[in-house]
């Protein structure tokens, strides 16, 4: 909301956490927030998979995966939320869950945030949460964000690697 009031008309903040994911959109003077307690990459990983379904997650994978593999990975993340992917396959599974969560957040927010005939061109898009900001490469975090949200036009991407956005409200 602060950034929107400083001259930017359309601002989007996404925060994908271990248990909760949040999307806040500032659109021409109004802020709308969507909070999903069923979309997280740690404590809520299995809930995410159950809510969205295996097809919504597997569409982001570059290889075919059995539903049981996705369920096992999501259950393991729920029980051990602090673990990091050990293999490249695990990394693909983790990022498929992340992109499915981001796409679901955006779909949930569309009726709230869309006040015009065309989808809003948010600028900037701010990412928060370790899954997006601590990937080891800012380029990978940007790719994951762009891939899931599919913004149109030129968009400024900002990262909140220290997790200050949730604290600021």
Give the separation between CA 39 and CA 18, rounded to whole angstroms. 8
Q: Which two tokens stand for residue 38?
A: 């069923």
Q: Is 138 helix (H, G, I), strand (E, B) or coil?
A: helix
> To which residue do tokens 């601002």 refer?
11
The rounded average pLDDT for each run of 10 residues, N- to C-terminus, in the chain (169 residues) is 75 90 84 89 94 95 95 96 92 95 85 53 87 86 89 86 76
Measure CA 61 to chain center: 16
Q: What is the pLDDT of residue 104?
A: 92
Q: What is the pLDDT of residue 71?
A: 96
Q: What is the pLDDT of residue 113?
A: 47
Write the DSSP string, 45-93.
HHHHHHHH-HHHHHTT-SS---HHHHHHHHHHHHHSTT----SHHHHHH
Give the separation between CA 40 and CA 38, rounded to whole angstroms. 6
Q: Do 40 and 64 form a contact (C-beta atoms < 8 A)?
A: no
Measure CA 145 to chain center: 7
Q: Which residues contact 71 (CB under 8 A, 6 or more apart)?
A: 46, 49, 54
What is the length of the chain? 169
């Amino acid at each position: 909301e602060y950034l929107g009031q400083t001259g930017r008309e359309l601002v989007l903040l996404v925060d994908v956490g271990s248990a909760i994911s949040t999307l806040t959109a500032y659109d021409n003077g109004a802020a709308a927030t969507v909070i999903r307690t069923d979309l997280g990459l740690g404590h809520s990983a299995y809930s995410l998979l159950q809510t969205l379904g295996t097809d919504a997650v597997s569409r982001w994978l570059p290889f075919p995966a059995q539903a049981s593999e996705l369920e096992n990975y999501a259950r393991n993340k729920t029980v051990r939320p602090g673990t990091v992917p050990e293999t490249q396959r695990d990394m693909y599974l983790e990022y498929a869950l992340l992109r499915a969560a981001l796409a679901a957040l955006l779909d949930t927010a569309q009726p709230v945030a869309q006040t015009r005939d065309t989808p809003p061109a948010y600028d900037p898009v701010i990412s928060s949460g370790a899954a997006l900001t601590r990937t080891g490469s800012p380029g990978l975090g940007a790719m994951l964000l762009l891939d899931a949200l599919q913004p149109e036009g030129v968009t400024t991407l900002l990262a909140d690697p220290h997790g200050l956005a949730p604290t600021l409200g």
